[in-house]
A and B are shown apart, each in its own frame.
Chain A
């Protein structure tokens, strides 16, 4: 793999994303909503142990959960399928460049642009908190930014996996939106439903939550922001008592890394090894 080619694809992909009107709209909405969240979250004093940076970050978690997975999974979903559909992928491959360079370059290019919008949203909100006095610990805020970046990588990987199997962008978008609904909207309902239907214990509920990267992000973010882990409910209490507060965080962080690496690795293998042809 030549880093020169990876960098070229990465630069092209990042440039295209930054010119893409949907991406601009998404970044604008995310940043505007982050500022709105800042406005509401700094109106009162301490609520449920949160104040300043902590309360802004806690408010941003829901925004991140809604926006980041959607943009990451859809952008990932169309990344390869669209090029395959419109014929630019075989044309690109007729040049001295390998599939692995294209795959890695595309992934990094898109990831960097999503990270850019995350940093912009969190940056503007963080700046607002700092200007207003900057109460609370900044480390929790920064860890939430890190977890958001990791969440973007998880859903981008899943999107790439969808993309390598899709011949058409429309199909990839459909599957991506379905998965987003499954992970984000139906995730909580699914856990609740399964728990009630199967009469699951706390341990099983915790394991079930770990199967969803969005749930993992949610639990990890609350853990880094709140000194009172009881707000996570019985599952949170079980987790902290079993692994310790730091232990749970490392466990959740590792699971998020796995969620980013496993779909990426599998999609990479499918694209570069199993699927040799691009008509």
Chain B
């Protein structure tokens, strides 16, 4: 669906995208992750035809440079911070709908889909961040394009708006849309992506399934086990004997590090050893720790 072949983009002497080759299949959801300046947004802008580049990019076998208009008609784009003309919501949809040759019925349907029917007469400047992002998504869906490209779409949203927005994207992904998105949040990647591309200095240095990401990187999860005061020493002994790494006392409990996918193991061992566990918390890997890990280990 999206073919990126040996794409290179330079800004002066700075190599923003360096010989990237990727093939994103129909219906696949691919996440672009990496530190700021890794080249994620630049690659997205190349795919959208906004930047000139070396190499080839094709959407459904149509070259974005040679057949720019048609290729763009196959893409729905949601930017990080959508900026609209100061018009009413319905007029903005109508404007972009006219560019994409969409009728009024589709516009009304989309207002319902993204939950903006009650706000259709509000000016874009009167919409909240979440509403603006949903409007942007509705614009992206106008011509029902097979490809959705989202550039850090939830970075300016609060938790509720983020959840609503991600559900909306997931629904369309499940309906068969090809999705390419960049994100700084690991939970979004786990929730949406079929594949993760890690970019560093303009290159894709890791191509992995999200469920294998932490494992393949050897990432650890920290578990804080709350144990009665008199049994903490026994718990530490059992965990050390069973070969768990980084076991340490932590106030009223024990900290233990385990590999991703092995979170239950220390709890099972302690229960088998008749150690009562009052409570526990799990500290998952964040995107920052993933990025730091890859940057440090050069994976």
Contact = CB atoms under 8 A, between A and B. Distances in A.
B138 to A, nearest CB: 13
B52 A276 contact: yes
A91 B217 CA distance: 36
A263 to B, nearest CB: 25
A278 B85 contact: no
B84 A88 contact: yes
A240 interface: no
Contacts of B82: 91
A96 interface: yes
A3 interface: no
B85 A16 contact: yes
A171 interface: no
A116 to B, nearest CB: 20
Nearest to A8: B98
Interface in B70-107: 70, 72-73, 75, 77, 79, 81-86, 95-96, 98-100
A94 B99 contact: no
B68 interface: yes
Given A90-B50, A96-B100, 17 more contacts: A8-B98, A12-B95, A86-B83, A87-B81, A93-B50, A94-B48, A94-B72, A94-B75, A94-B77, A94-B79, A95-B99, A95-B100, A96-B69, A98-B68, A278-B50, A279-B50, A279-B51
A88 B100 CA distance: 17
Chain B: interface size category: 20 to 34
A91 B79 CA distance: 8
A195 interface: no
8 contacts: A16-B86, A86-B83, A88-B84, A95-B77, A95-B100, A96-B99, A98-B69, A277-B50
Contacts of A245: none
Given A8-B99, A12-B85, A97 B69 contact: yes
B83 A87 contact: yes
A98 B69 CA distance: 7
Contacts of A278: 50
A8 B97 CA distance: 11
Interface string A1-22: 0001100100010001000000
Nearest to A16: B85
The 5 closest A-B pairs by CB, nearest first: A96-B73, A94-B77, A96-B69, A87-B83, A96-B72
Contacts of A87: 79, 81, 83
A97 B45 contact: no
Chain A: interface size category: 20 to 34
A93 to B, nearest CB: 6
Interface string A124-145: 0000000000000000000000
B165 to A, nearest CB: 18
B62 to A, nearest CB: 12
A277 B85 contact: no
B50 to A, nearest CB: 5
Nearest to A20: B86
Contacts of A5: 99
A96 B97 CA distance: 11
A277 B51 contact: yes
A220 to B, nearest CB: 38
B122 to A, nearest CB: 16
A8 B95 CA distance: 7
Given A86-B83, A95-B72, A277 B52 contact: yes
A86 B98 CA distance: 22
B50 A96 contact: no
B270 to A, nearest CB: 54
B45 A279 contact: yes
Contacts of B86: 16
A12 B84 CA distance: 12
Contacts of B100: 95-96
Contacts of B73: 96
Contacts of B77: 91, 94-95
Interface in B199-229: none
Interface string A48-91: 00000000000000000000000000000000000000111011
Nearest to A278: B50
Contacts of B68: 98
A270 to B, nearest CB: 15
A271 B51 CA distance: 14
A94 B74 CA distance: 11
Contacts of B45: 90, 279
B38 to A, nearest CB: 16
